[in-house]
Structure 1
């Protein structure tokens, strides 16, 4: 059996259909395949009907069980990675309403226990002052008042002591003038205050630190189950454990170059003084 790449529809439904077809071609019942893969028959059924998206590990086990040829393995594994990755374009978010995106983020934050944010150029809404939030939405279409309100409402999650937050900021994120100097000074004071909460860690990566790997984009990790990466035109959602683990490795690498606690607060205070002197 040979599948051309264009036939692999790059969707969860196509992955389910492909795996189901492979099982049938191998002459296996769902129960027999489940035993070979050390899975439950109900899980195999959910994977083949698209009710559950098979992880890369699940797909590897199934491919071994059906004795798929090497050339097919690479194609199906590529499809599996695509099925575990979702593209959310910004224009669609605009059409649905930005406040709905805020509801989705609030749900993610509610369901997560440990969240990690890598911020190479701009602050996330959870950390932002009202002025900073409004300015960050300048280029978004339509009425932004509801979105501003939703972003500020989401900040209540920071005070939930059952959750842990780590924010990594580069010097550029600290310095980028989204709002005038007086507003940026207030914004940096807020960062320093939040860093004193026991469940929040804010790290700053100074600009003079030598780091061989450049910061490509903003990304967020929710527990160890999901990661999102931001681009100018949308966001990519990674749900496969291996992708999430890679983002965790990158996060931990950058975290090793950051300063925290009093050192970070002193750094922010110095920047605030510089901003106020320029007024």
Structure 2
């Protein structure tokens, strides 16, 4: 199955965590009133937490585990709580100080990652963008979102970040929908240059580029674009937020989705031919 819409993924993670706390309470033979009394809470707090209407704090989780005689589960629960809290970060907060800082913030993650699995529907991945393409993308973000205009510095930061493609022991498995090649965000010359550059980077030993043809019989529908960093993190960008997924169960779903999408993609000469056809179509 494909990942559901990202807002649903966050809500489901919160609900799953709440359900886990409820199971711990029930297994301990406690009613909601019992737990609330032992923890010194109002009974409604237990209900709100178990129905994901109130996010528990680390102290709440610690008290829950103590009174339910489940202290052995506390480290894993706290890690899960932090993962849920970190899934959703508003773009407005990230973009407040400009796009350059946003680009630089991801450098540590990119540098420590050894295996990138990238799926995009309608855009060339940032690691393979030309200066002109990246500038057009970021310029539109500034215009649309009204964030500080530091496009030139942000583009330079993105270009600096691209060094990881050619350095270190890393691999980049990339799957693009063919539609991404036709999403024109600039003039013909800029788009032709970008697509030609995509062919060039696809020839690097570290890069595997697959294109899902538009007319293929699909075994997996398209989803929002996502990046898998090694085996421990999935990143998704929406118009309003950056979502980070670290729960093993959900990561496994994205890994399965990426494998299925990859099985529909063509690579090597057939992929280069699709890109070349997209370049030719620019003159039409």
Give the TM-score range, shorter chain. 0.7 to 0.9
What residue is the counterpart of 1:235 in the other structure?
A: 242
Alpha-carbon distance in structure 1 between the residues aligned to 2:69 and 2:217: 57
Secondary structure at the counterpart of residue 121 of structure 1: coil
TM-score (ref. length: structure 1): 0.76
- The aligned runs of 1:67-86 (5 Å cut-off) are 80=81, 83=84, 85-86=86-87
1:26 to 68, 84, 89: 68
C-alpha change, 1:47 and 1:168, in structure 2 (3 Å) is closer
TM-score (ref. length: structure 2): 0.75
- The aligned runs of 1:11-90 (5 Å cut-off) are 14=56, 16-27=58-69, 33-34=71-72, 44=74, 53-55=78-80, 80=81, 83=84, 85-90=86-91
What residue is the counterpart of 1:122 in the other structure?
A: 123
Secondary structure at the counterpart of residue 123 of structure 2: coil
Secondary structure at the counterpart of residue 215 of structure 1: coil
Please list the CA deviations of residues 27-86 of structure 1 after superposition, one character each: whole Å capped at 9, or x if unmatched: 57xxxx44xx6xxxxxx5x668xxxx434xxxxxxxxxxxxxxxxxxxxxxxx5973652
Secondary structure at the counterpart of residue 267 of structure 1: helix
1:139 has 2:182 as partner:
no
1:246 has 2:253 as partner:
yes
Question: What residue ranges of structure 1 are gaps of 5+ in the alignment?
Answer: 38-43, 56-79
Give 1:149 deviation, angstroms.
0.7
Alpha-carbon distance in structure 2 between the residues aligned to 1:217 and 1:260: 21
C-alpha change, 1:109 and 1:10, in structure 2 (3 Å) is farther
C-alpha change, 1:20 and 1:6, in structure 2 (3 Å) is closer
Is the 2:126–2:158 contact (alpha carbons within 8 Å) kept by the matching residues of 1?
yes
1:105 has 2:106 as partner:
yes
Question: What residue ranges of structure 2 are gaps of 5+ in the alignment?
Answer: 1-30, 33-45
Please list the CA deviations of residues 4-34 of structure 1 after superposition, one character each: whole Å capped at 9, or x if unmatched: 23575765xx353343223321357xxxx44
Alpha-carbon distance in structure 1 between the residues aligned to 2:187 and 2:54: 45
What root-mean-square deviation, in Å, do the aligned CA atoms of Structure 1 and Structure 2 show? 2.3
What residue is the counterpart of 1:224 in the other structure?
A: 231
Is the 2:99–2:150 contact (alpha carbons within 8 Å) kept by the matching residues of 1?
no
Alpha-carbon distance in structure 2 between the residues aligned to 1:148 and 1:184: 17
Moved more, 211-220 or 113-122: 211-220
C-alpha change, 1:84 and 1:250, in structure 2 (3 Å) is farther
Give 1:161 deviation, angstroms.
4.3
Give 1:194 deviation, angstroms.
0.6
Give 1:245 deviation, angstroms.
1.2
Alpha-carbon distance in structure 2 between the residues aligned to 1:262 and 1:83: 42
What residue is the counterpart of 1:96 in the other structure?
A: 97
Give 1:111 deviation, angstroms.
1.0
